[in-house]
Amino acid sequence: MPDTKPFGAFAPAGLVARILEKTRAAADSWLAKRIAFLLRRIALKRLRGAPVDIETYGARMRLLPYNNVCEKRVLFTPQFFDPLERQILEARIRDGFVFVDIGANIGAYSLFVAMHAGASARILAVEPQPDIFDRLVFNISQNPGAPIKAVDCALADKPGEVTLFLDPRNSGESSVKIVGSGQAGAIKVPATTLQALVESEGYGHIDALKLDVEGAEDIILEPFLLNAPQELYPGLIIVEDGSGRWQIDLPQLLVRCGYREIARTRLNRVYERTA
């Protein structure tokens, strides 16, 4: 990560800048998206592996859009990156907002909340992959005053150490469960539980939680919902839909704990606590 150079050193220029202007203005239609993806391939070839410094969601980020789908989406088509989820989240942001971002990647969700919530918010961005964590920390540092604390660990059903499988084709697919490419490498990373993490930070409540850990959402949420005090239950949960890989009926557990599903998109389910 070339973080020794100041932000702006990798500002888009020439053809890449013109492509970004077009892809970021693309309409939400099948044809417009196909054209945007074609232009994206052209831009990636032109960039030749270089990072890009750009402002997205009101925040400054340095992106490496090559083996990380999240960074590709944030760079080229941020308008298509979980728009309904962000709309629901934004509508609930208020002074002192508390947000926990599990599987924070390079910080797109955390920075989005920070730019809307202001300095009074408390945001915890949890990311276990060392390289991605470095990029997350760099992006946070480019936005002085952003109330985000980055934590480099995995969350699991018990504290200790876990094996993290790294997908070489898409860093965002890395998980403590074996990923689907069949080419995953593996590293050992420290782990803790969600309850232990938020209690160690002194959180008395959580307004919203985003959980995107590639099918391991159940092993994080189940012990939390069964053991944590109810005052720590998040008011809103955005969870990646890993129902094909969950070992329990996580939606049913959420219902039993007082949640109702208020939205479902291609990638995520959104739950609000009513009890």
Ordered by start, the domain boundaries in the chain are 14-76, 83-273
- Supply the pLDDT for residue 126: 97
The whole-number pLDDT of residue 182 equals 55
Spell out the residues 6+ positions from residue 21 whose beta carbon is closer than 8 angstroms to its own. Answer: none
Alpha carbon 210 to its chain centroid, in Å, reads 7
Question: What does CATH list as the number for 83-273?
Answer: 3.40.50.150
Tell me which residues of the chain have a pLDDT lower than 50.
2
Please tell me the predicted confidence (pLDDT) of residue 173.
Answer: 64
Q: What span, in angstroms and rounded, lies between the C-alpha atoms of 12 and 34?
A: 22
Q: For 23-36, how does the pLDDT look when each residue is reduced to its tens digit (9 = 90+)?
A: 999 999 999 999 99
Q: What is the mean pLDDT of the chain?
A: 92
Q: Two tokens at 260?
A: 């109702």
* Residue 146 CB contacts under 8 Å (≥ 6 apart), including other chains: 59, 111, 114, 115, 123, 140
The pLDDT value given to residue 187: 87
